[in-house]
Chains A and B, each alone.
Chain A
Amino acid sequence: MPAEFPVERSETAFTDYKLPLSPAQAAVEAGRCLFCHDAPCVTACPTHIDIPQFIRKIANGNDRGAAKTIFESNILGMSCARVCPVEVLCVGACVYNDLDEPPIQIGKLQRHATDRAFDEGWRFFKAGAPTGRRVALVGGGPASLAAAHELRRLGHACTIFERRDFLGGLNTTGIAPHKLKADRSVTEAAWVLEIGGVELRTGAEIGRDVSLADLERDFDAVFVGIGLGADSRAKVPGEDLPGVLGAVDWIERMKLGDAGLAGVRRAVVVGAGNTAMDAARELLALGVPQVTTLYRGTEDAMGGYAHEWRAARVAGVRAEWRAVTTAFEGAGRLERLRCVRVDEARTPVAGSQFTLEADLALLAIGQSRLGAVLAGLKGITVESGIVRVDAHGFTGRPGWYAGGDCANGGKEVVNAAAEGMAAARAIDRALAAGGGIGRKEVPRG
């Protein structure tokens, strides 16, 4: 348990939504895998873990080999096993779905092997022979961790600059605690960095404490994995009232400390993406009796996964579809939201005004984008705050790479891991070919 988190945190009240498999269950489930040729689950996994092979190893009693196979493709395989939306990735692709038989529980099997690796202290990877090259990683989230690990395997010295005083990014501060708790994410980051040779500069924000010029001076290449920024604002009167918060901001408070729900009886979550679904379920689970989501579109158009909404609905979350808030009101703190229905073109429907009583409103309508921090570096394109990169994470400016949420606009941990790893390999190829910061050569993928 890292010193900076209190032992008693609101998130510690949560138990796992998806239960781990016992060894006997894992053996039975692994034995069901068909070991498909050119398996669709492997294609569906952004890090392309050799899923049939690791499952076969579990079936044959070789958990250690299974863990090795997983980490070989995805060093964040432990947290991904818990946080990945497997329903739309590997498990969703399992051919058993077409036989109307239950698909293989790939996430749970992955958890079986990777948890065991953590419990038993298994280690698989060594740093590569030193190349004498230095790479900076901006941000200490999943993208940078995956990139740093791969770069160390390839022998490059690494320095991570993280503005907070702990690692893991949103994996630590954002993931629903019924999937993964903050301390487990921090433990994972430390486990990844056991490969050695990664200098940690926490509390160091690029653009404030360390300049881009400093990076260009001190490093041969830079990987930017700064993720997304603060919750977007609703731009509606009254949103500065106490009791109106950003959802990601509130989730972080809940995970790292106290959720501040004393006296909260009714909460509204604005939005219908996965962050909104998580926040709504978390509020209910922490004892808020009435939780309503408010979304301008229909149920079919919601951004959140169907399986997440189903779980939220089963838990008791209510929804107002095709409605927007026009004002947050209250005497000194939030008491109600003024709302109105909208039509397909999202224009308010005359006479459809209504009011939702609420002591807490969470805005889950997206996160700001941080690409602006790179503005001014010639050759790098930032579009609506997203850093533009090619398939290997290259930005166009020699030596500069990016991946994860800041470059893909906000996806999953597993995408960040895949993009971090791909960028690390591209950096290695570029450096080997004489490219890097300040070089003319534009590396090719």
Chain B
Amino acid sequence: MADLSTQTGGIRSPNPFWLASAPPANSGAQIQRAFDAGWGGAVWKTLGTPIQNVSSRFGGHAIGNARGAGFNNIELITDRPLEVNFREIAETKKRWPHNPIIASLMVETREEWREIIKRSIDAGADGLELNFGCPHGMCERGMGSAVGQEPAVNERITSWACEFSTVPVLVKLTPNVSDIVPHGMAAKRGGAHGVSLINTIKSIIAVDIDRFVPEPRVGSLSTNGGYCGAAVKPIALHMVAALAREPGFGLPISGIGGVRNWRDAVEFMLLGSSTVQVCTEVMLRGYRVVEDMRDGLEEYMHSKGFTRVQDMVGKAVPAFSEWGDLDMNYETVARINADTCIGCQLCIAACHDGAHQCIHPQEGTRVPRIDESECVGCNLCQIVCPSPGCITMDRVDNGHPPATWNDHVNHGATLRPKKGSH
């Protein structure tokens, strides 16, 4: 079977699944249970000058029956005394020497960084993660995303950490920026051995429409929180991939954001993550979700002939390109398999109201007809179709050689005529 061992920035792990720095990695007892369940590593709940938390502090975004499809929190860093955390790191390392523990850190001054890094390494941390990402509470105090949003500050603090540390340093990036690349580059200039992303996204999860207060509600007030869970995966994937394909970057990546199962993990890995971190799915369902993450990844690697994690890391990065480099003459049309069509006609509504008005009802059958001469190949009908595999997007040969927008603009390459009368 495939070998699941991997490493990010020199931090070795028996498998790519790490607990993200968050409540599931709050204490030694929890992390030891997680290792028992099969987790590869854990990024300890962020250490710093202990704070106090509010209640309540979490909010869930249900989409239909999917409770917790999105999740947010207004929790801060650890609220437990530092010496307790360090003692538990040491105990956990003693019992689980081969599972990496990464100390997530957030302090202010150079002296504080020196001190907390020394204590973390003395306790046995295998690596550090600099939390430059928390989008609430800590940033108002000049930490968290306040650091992550300023490349110069990020670079300076990273360089301090790298100066003081004898173990690998990962920088955890905030997604609350317009372009992730300069921030990854700042971490690199500061000397980081890798980056972790994403932290949570600034959000208001919901509003209590009877009390006129946003959620989560603390008495009569609320505040903005960090958004995470399944719903943020697309944003996280993009940020991971944007760094992975940046020519001058090249640092290892620990991917985070909405990982629920092995498939999500595989997607992060194909876009350049050598490990993945999970918070929300563990909060919602417990540590044992890791069983299928490992099992499914192993089955997947076996089916694809990958023997080591490294064989697959970044495999989809070359296919993540610029719009201007896409082949404008590549053409698909939607086709309906009448045998598997159940006649719901969701595709008619979608195409008529949301696309190009080319799916039509037919006399004597509920199976719609697609006018292929009008179909622009947008995918919308396939996305709404509830019958698996019923609508396919089929390539059609229009006789036009490949031509990108850039070819067209720069060299006058001929583009196929715009399709559809609408």
Chain A residues proximal to chain B, CB less than 8 Å: 23-24, 27, 35, 37, 53, 56-57, 60-62, 64-65, 68
Contacts and interface: CB of A to CB of B under 8 A. Distances in A.
Nearest to B284: A35
Contacts of B150: none
B71 interface: no
B113 interface: no
Given A53-B288, A62-B262, A23 B388 contact: yes
Contact of B291 (A23, A24, A53): A53
Q: Which of A24, A53, A65 has the most chain B CB atoms closer than 10 A to its own CB?
A: A65
6 nearest A-B residue pairs (beta carbon): A65-B295, A62-B296, A60-B261, A57-B292, A24-B388, A35-B285
Contacts of B261: 56, 60
A24 B286 CA distance: 27
B387 interface: yes
Given A23-B388, A24-B388, A62-B262, A57 B295 contact: yes
B127 to A, nearest CB: 29
A60 B294 CA distance: 12
Interface string B263-296: 1000000000000000000000110110110011
Nearest to B260: A60
B179 interface: no
Contacts of B292: 53, 56-57, 60, 62, 65
A36 to B, nearest CB: 10
B299 interface: yes
A65 B288 contact: no
The B interface, classified by DSSP as helix, strand, loop or mixed, is helix
B296 A57 contact: yes
28 contacts: A23-B388, A24-B387, A24-B388, A27-B388, A35-B285, A35-B286, A35-B289, A37-B286, A53-B288, A53-B291, A53-B292, A56-B261, A56-B292, A57-B292, A57-B295, A60-B263, A60-B292, A61-B263, A61-B296, A62-B262, A62-B292, A62-B295, A62-B299, A64-B299, A65-B292, A65-B296, A65-B299, A68-B295
A60 B286 contact: no
A57 B289 CA distance: 10
A64 B286 CA distance: 23
B383 to A, nearest CB: 16
B64 to A, nearest CB: 11
Interface of B: 261-263, 285-286, 288-289, 291-292, 295-296, 299, 387-388
A147 to B, nearest CB: 27
A62 B289 CA distance: 13
Nearest to A60: B261
B359 to A, nearest CB: 22
B303 to A, nearest CB: 9
Nearest to A65: B295
Given A62-B262, A65-B295, 17 more contacts: A35-B285, A35-B286, A35-B289, A53-B288, A56-B261, A56-B289, A57-B292, A57-B295, A60-B261, A60-B262, A60-B292, A60-B296, A61-B263, A62-B295, A65-B296, A65-B299, A68-B295
A53 B290 CA distance: 10
A37 B292 CA distance: 16
Q: Which of A23, A27, A53 has the most chain B CB atoms closer than 10 A to its own CB?
A: A53
Nearest to B294: A65
Nearest to B264: A60
A24 B285 CA distance: 24
A65 B300 CA distance: 10
A58 to B, nearest CB: 10
A24 B387 CA distance: 8
A56 B262 CA distance: 11
Nearest to A62: B296
Contacts of B285: 35
Contacts of A64: 299
A60 B265 CA distance: 12
Contacts of B296: 57, 60-62, 65
Contacts of A27: 388
B2 to A, nearest CB: 13
A357 B180 CA distance: 86
A35 B282 CA distance: 12
A332 B227 CA distance: 84
Contacts of B288: 53
Nearest to B262: A60
B281 to A, nearest CB: 10
Contacts of B262: 60, 62
A56 B281 CA distance: 13
B131 to A, nearest CB: 30
B180 to A, nearest CB: 28
A35 B284 CA distance: 10
